[in-house]
Structure 1
Amino acid sequence: MSTDAPDSTTNNLGTGENKPKEIKLSAVEKIKLASEYLKGTIDDELADPVDHFNNDNLQLLKFHGSYQQDDRDKRAELKKSGGGKAYSMMLRCRIPGGRITAEQLVAHLDICDELGNATLKITTRQTLQLHGILKDDLRESINRINKIGLSTLAACGDVNRNVMCCPAKRVGPIHAQMQQFTDDLVEALAPETTAYHELWLTDPETDEKTLVGGGEPEAKKPIEEPLYGPTYLPRKFKCGIALPEDNCIDIYTQDLGFIAVVRDEKIIGYNVIVGGGMGRTPSAKKTFPALAERMAFVTPEQAIDVAKAVLIVQRDNGNRSDRKVARLKYLIADWGVAKFRTEVEKIFGEKLADCTEDDVHGFDDHMGWQEQGDGKWSYGLNVENGRLMDNEKTQFKTAFRKICDVFGREMRFTGHQSIIFCDIEESEKDQLISIIKEHGIPTTEQTSTARRWSMTCVALPTCGLAITESERRLPSIIDKIEEPLAKLGLSNERFTIRMTGCPNGCARPYNADLALVGRAVGKYTLFVGGGWLGNRLAYIYKDQVKDEVVVEEMIGIFAAFKANREGSESLGDFCARVGEEKLAELAESAPRP
């Protein structure tokens, strides 16, 4: 299968004839083209005492796993005093399938305390984010992450990002196959630029290709990208692997998804789905969220090459003039999945089989105690919105340090921003729970169902795109809906609540049962009608909902659901069945708790 990159000045935009067509490249495409495979002038800026990077290098730093941010809470105060912005860097790690060792977690806790803002964030893609890292500390932070056997390369940027996979610890061939496929996929779709090693793992004083402070030198590879080419992909690209009975990674939101097909306790292949993506821009009608479409069945032996073929078709045909419509979902919408499959088959070199009937039908968040199958247990602990910090009420960081010290076992991050402690002996279960409780952390069993199934993006104060609050707001919203839910008899009802500070959808709001998406300052778009299974898009119930009436609107939906549900239908199923207008009528007339 050929992986030769195209001429970066041309692009095929849905012609289907593989004939290059001249287009006007976007500004970001030009930056990538001139960057010498992501190096740019980052090294010069690292040596410059200025506290922030220029715009061109900011685009390249994303590929290295970092975004520049500023503390928006401090903007007005600094402006009054004549100062500039309080710049810092967000640094994201790449942790395939969310699998991490005790040593690696402790190292991240050390970095966040010593070089960051003293908090750590579990992301919606099963990895970790550090915030508040000063520009002068960025090289040391990346270097330290690499020393523990992890990397930040391709955690962001126009490449394949962190590969998601079911995090459950299970003995047996199925999960072992999935985890091995995850690792193989990460390696196969990884960028090969030498710029990462040269910038972050090289001593700038001696120019020796060695880890700063020690380590083995790495042989220099040629500066080339046989898979990606000099301009990489038109936009970000996300992959995931799931089981039909356990869609815990939201497989239909991925650009490329693999649904395992299991027969006789063995994965015989995967149903490949393509074109998922959550972002939208309300002012641009050409943008929209999308769920992936079923494309073809592949055997385990075909899977990697088919993944490369999907990436290559997007590389050569995705929109490179308008980043708003550059994701794979727009190419699928333009072509249709049948034509896209034909182009994938051309690259792959042979026809593919049709999908089997296997599809998602369950979702396990893996919280609480679960048997691993080897006599040991895992414990899934809900971490509200993924934020690890210590304060007067709860001490997540201190508790996790102690757990790592006492048990020293593997851990897994979930797609819902929580953590799974693995390999716990029956005799150790009480000790683990005791450590959690003594640090003021609610156990999963003490966490309400609504809170357990909730999720937010970071939003304010660090995200530059945020319009409204999200992470800092949703906990108080859930505080106010827990009692009404109890009075309605819905405390144990499972439904997803997701909230984002802007329409980019980093917390996957558009396929949730209920979601709040930042629309304007102090206002949200209220979406309903998705579902916890993740295979249906939500619709806009009300737009421009003021923050102060959000709770009231939600309670109205819950009351309508309680009074009018049919059988055991879920909240999302109910909202999808009755539709926008009828739901508004039912919410208005339903008796409130």
Structure 2
Amino acid sequence: MSDPEPKKTKVEVIKEASCGLRGSIADELADAATDHVADATTKLLKFHGTYQQDDRDLRTPRRKEGLGKAYSFMVRNRIPGGKITATQFLGELDIADELGNGTIRITTRQSIQLHGVVKANLWSTIHRINEIKLSTQSACGDVTRNVCCCPAPLRQNGLRDRLQEIADEIAVHVRPKTQAYHEIWIKDPQSGERQQVVGPPDEPEPDPIYGKAYLPRKFKIGLALSDDNCIDVYDNDLGLLGVTSGDELVGFNVLVGGGMGTTPSKKNCFPALAHRLTFVTPDQLLPIITAIILVQRDFGNRADRSQARMKYLIHNLGLAAFKAKVESYLSEAESICGVADGSLPRPLPAPNPVDVTRHDDHMGWHAQGDGKFFLGLPIENGRVKDDGPLRLKTALRKLFTDHVSNARLTAQQNILLCDLEEDQRDTIQQLLAEHGVVTVDQISNARRFAFACPALPTCGLAITESERVLPTVIGAVEAELSLLGLADEQFTIRMTGCPNGCARPYNADIGLVGRSADGKTGEGRYTLFIGGNLLGTRMNKVFKDQVPMSRIVDELRPVLVHFKQHRTAGESLGDYCNRVGVEALLQLDQET
């Protein structure tokens, strides 16, 4: 009697039957009679870099008019390490103006999202992104997402350039082998047709890393240096922390099992920081990455998507057992990578003692080390738009047209303008001032280190506001800090409109996570977390739940007062909260 078929989610069945992520995407795009696609197709489109959404602000008025949802698509780029040329950035602005909602958004994974793309414009949007030599393939979906890496073009010792090269190598290595993306989105120049050049094959192309069903859930990889954890390396499924000796990159500590998403109603769901697994040399990197992905592919939970991230596999197995499974897959991984069997040691060694010691957001003017400069420019919540006196989009268009050749996007949703000459500084500063664009020396630290997810009105998972209200929350926090003489303190405030954690709230000094909304006023209520750190190496803890947005600062005030009074020399807000503990801070609140 044969074993019963393992239980699978609906998404798993869709992936397996998709013939290499093709499904009926091409046919549904060609159907001009509808403004949206079927549910199964939305699952496959994620692998191609796009989510179907609707404007939730319009749901009620449209329902009253007897209309359906106002559908549109979010389109996300894959930009390893956040590297982008002036031509590409200008191209993104043009596409947003002509085919989207006129704005672009820098993401927390060094990429760009376009919003408000209607179905009739979806093919043209993704096609044009490829024409400017960018891509949306694997920017979403159950595969390896955009590979993150320190974006700073600091060239004094070549370490960061080497990290960027490795990030590019990894991105190529983990890209799915299916030709579906090219067939659907990149037209044949000879035929001039936008439809598939050839019909789908009978079977999908063999993919030694992903197989037919790809991964159980999304998979994130990031690279950092110990003295510059600007990408939150411990938040990734697979973090690679560079170990150096002088100016030489000698290898990486491999970190596994990070992930910010959770479902509060399920006790077995939780956010997590990665575990330190092993140390490898640069030439051993692709095989170890491959082996880890293969273990997640074959043992990750495909019956329950809320338990499908690799952090849960490691939690259930234990780190030692997970490491043993990785070791058992090394030969297969070495074969896939084309290296000699046994190139990685068995058993895998312990991690190097090196760990994260510093965070740098790279804002302001910096010498690159090659005679040129870069300018780190803060962009509130990553949204590039013109809004009243702030004409950020116009300013960046002028800069990239006349003064800047290339840039880097950061994991804090900011931008680094690169390869600038010293005699350009005054011109650039004047242009920014004329367009109302502030530089880092003109904003508070509270605003500098804060960011939010998009949330409403486009994200289908959002429970509360995030991007649209965080500036108001920060304004209230700024006022309180100023009264207390704490305006110079550096700490992170991160807000999300739901528990999925896109803005990495669970290791911030202060995390604000959307919990519910008042049925009458619509005011959001948030879970308030405290005790993380700027380094990104410590999880925070729940301080208070169901806090109305209007009371966030009221609830934080006693903590800030006691922080000022009882901190030790040089102690940060997150360190203080972690040392004192939530229970003691709640008691202080009652005594205030």
Note whether the superposition's TM-score is higher than 0.5.
yes
What are the superposed Cα offsets for residues 71-113 of structure 1, whole Å, 9 maximum, x if unpaired?
Answer: 0001110000000000000000000000100000000000110
Could you say which residue in structure 1 is the equivalent of 2:176? 191
User: Is 2:66 the counterpart of 1:70?
Assistant: no
CA contact (8 A) 1:37 1:230 kept: yes
Q: Given the alignment of the two structures, is residue 580 of structure 1 paired with residue 564 of structure 2, yes or no?
A: no
Equivalent residue letter for 1:23: P
Identity %: 52
Residue number among 425, 443, 448 corresponding to 2:444 in the alignment? 448
- Residue 531 (structure 2) aligns with: 529
Is 2:294 the counterpart of 1:292? no
Matched, 1:25 2:8: yes
Q: Shift in Å at residue 353 of structure 1?
A: 2.0
Instruction: Look up the match of 1:334.
Output: 316
Alignment of 1:229-240 (within 5 A): 229-240=211-222
Q: CA deviation at 1:222?
A: 7.0
- Deviation by residue 1:166-199 (Cα, 9 ceiling, x = unmatched): 0001113211210110000001111111111111
Q: Secondary structure at the match of 1:330?
A: helix
Q: What one-letter code is carried by the residue in structure 2 that aligns with 1:42?
A: I
Equivalent residue in structure 1 for 2:373, among 370, 377, 397: 377
- Residue 15 of structure 1 corresponds to none
- Contact 1:201–1:210 under 8 Å retained in 2: no
Q: For residue 129 of structure 1, what is the aligned residue in structure 2?
A: 113
In the aligned structure 2, how far is the partner of 1:470 from the partner of 1:73? 14
Matches within 5 A, 1:498-513: 498-513=494-509
1:483 and 2:479 are equivalent in the alignment = yes
**1:329: Cα distance to partner?**
0.1
- 1:212, distance to aligned residue in structure 2 (A): 5.7
- The answer on whether the counterparts of 2:252 and 2:281 sit within 8 Å (CA) in structure 1 is yes
- Offset of residue 490 of structure 1: 1.0
Q: Does 1:36 align with 2:19?
A: yes
**Counterparts of 2:427 and 2:111, CA distance in 1:** 26
Q: Deviations over 1:379-416 (max 9, x none)?
A: 10100100000121211111001000112321011110
The one of 470, 476, 489 aligned to 1:474: 470
Partners of 2:559 and 2:589 within 8 A in 1: yes
| Residue in structure 2 matched with residue 47 of structure 1 by the alignment | 30
Deviation by residue 1:497-516 (Cα, 9 ceiling, x = unmatched)? 00000000000000000011
Q: Does 1:386 align with 2:382?
A: yes
Q: Which residue of 2 aligns with 1:17?
A: none
Residue 247 of structure 2 corresponds to residue 247 of structure 1: no
| Cα contact 1:560–1:587 (8 A) shared by 2 | no
Counterpart CA distance in 2 for 1:242 and 1:212 is 40
Match of 2:263 in 1: 281
Consecutive unaligned residues of structure 2, counting only runs of 5 or more, are 332-344, 518-523
* 1:313 matched to 2:266: no
Separation of aligned partners in 2, 1:570 and 1:283:
32
Indicate which of 216, 228, 247 corresponds to 2:210. Answer: 228
Partners of 1:235 and 1:345 in 2: how far apart?
A: 22
Quick one: which amino acid aligns to residue 439 of structure 2? T
Does the CA-based 8 Å contact 1:201-1:209 persist in structure 2? no
Cα distance between partner residues in 1 of 2:590 and 2:579: 17
Could you tell me which residue of structure 2 aligns to residue 177 of structure 1? 162
Contact 2:404 2:418 in 1 (8 A): no
SS at match of 1:534: coil
1:574: Cα distance to partner? 0.8
In 2, distance between residues paired with 1:433 and 1:320? 52
The answer to whether the 8 Å contact 1:277/1:290 transfers is yes
Quote the RMSD (CA, aligned, Å).
Answer: 1.8
Contact 1:143 1:211 in 2 (8 A): no
Q: Distance in 1 between matches of 2:474 and 2:565?
A: 21
| Shift of residue 209, structure 1, vs aligned partner | 7.2
Give the Cα–Cα distance (whole angstroms) in 2 for the partners of residues 515 and 560 of structure 1. Answer: 19
Quick one: structure 1 residues 209 and 59, their matched pair in 2 at CA, closer, same or farther if it must change by over 3 Å?
Answer: farther
Alpha-carbon distance between aligned partners in 1 of 2:253 and 2:274, rounded to the nearest angstrom: 12
Q: How far, CA to CA, are the matches of 2:312 and 2:4 in structure 1?
A: 18
> Which residue is equivalent to 1:164?
148
* Structure 2 residue 89 is the aligned partner of structure 1 residue 113: no
SS of match in other structure, 1:344: helix
User: 8 Å contact 2:153–2:161 — kept in the other structure?
Assistant: no
Once the two structures are superposed, residues 121-152 of structure 1 have per-residue CA deviations (whole angstroms, 9 ceiling, x without a partner) of 00000000000000010110001010111100
Q: Could you tell me how far 1:22 is from its partner in structure 2?
A: 4.3
Instruction: Name the structure 2 match of 1:560.
Output: 562
SS in 1 for 2:325: helix
1:526-581 deviation per Cα after TM superposition (whole angstroms, max 9, x unaligned): 00011111111010000111222112112232122112212211111111111112
1:239/1:254 contact within 8 Å kept: yes
Give the Cα–Cα distance (whole angstroms) in 2 for the partners of residues 440 and 176 of structure 1: 33
Give the equivalent residue in structure 2 for 1:345. Answer: 327
Tell me the distance in 2 between the aligned counterparts of 1:568 and 1:585.
Answer: 24
Partner of 1:426: 422
Counterparts of 2:558 and 2:93, CA distance in 1? 42
Contact 1:481 1:555 in 2 (8 A): no
Counterpart of 1:327, as a letter, is R
- 2:141, 2:218 within 8 Å by CA — same for their partners in 1? yes
Deviation at 1:481, TM superposition (A): 1.6
Tell me if the contact between 2:239 and 2:256 (Cα under 8 Å) persists in the aligned partners.
yes
After the TM superposition, list the runs of 4 or more consecutive aligned residues in structure 1 that deviate by more than 3 angstroms. Answer: 208-213, 587-590
The SS at the match of 1:557 is helix
Tell me which of 546, 549, 570 is aligned to 1:547: 549
Once the two structures are TM-superposed, the CA of residue 424 in structure 1 deviates from its matched residue by 1.2
* Among 339, 354, 366, the residue aligned to 2:362: 366
SS in 2 for 1:295: strand
Asked if the contact 1:202–1:210 (Cα under 8 Å) also holds between the matched residues in 2, the reply is: yes
Which residue identity is paired with 1:38? L
Q: Residue deviations 1:414-444, cap 9 Å, x none?
A: 1100000011111111111111111111111
Q: Distance in 2 between matches of 1:557 and 1:60?
A: 46
Any idea what the Cα deviations from partners look like across 1:282-304, whole Å, max 9, x if unmatched? 11111000000000000100001
Contact 1:143 / 1:212 at 8 angstroms: preserved in 2?
A: no
Secondary structure of 2:212's partner? coil
Aligned residue number for residue 6 of structure 1: none
Letter in 2 for 1:584: L
- Separation in 1 of the partners of 2:537 and 2:241? 13
> 1:496 deviation in Å?
0.2
SS at match of 2:471: helix
Secondary structure (helix, strand or coil) at the match of 1:89 reads strand
After TM superposition, give the deviation of residue 588 of structure 1 in Å: 4.4
Match of 2:139 among 155, 160, 180: 155
Q: Which residue of 2 aligns with 1:3?
A: none
Shift of 1:21: 8.2
AA aligned to 1:28 is V
Contact 2:78-2:138 at 8 Å conserved across structures? yes
CA–CA distance in structure 2, aligned partners of residues 21 and 92 of structure 1: 39
Structure 2: which amino acid aligns with 1:253? D
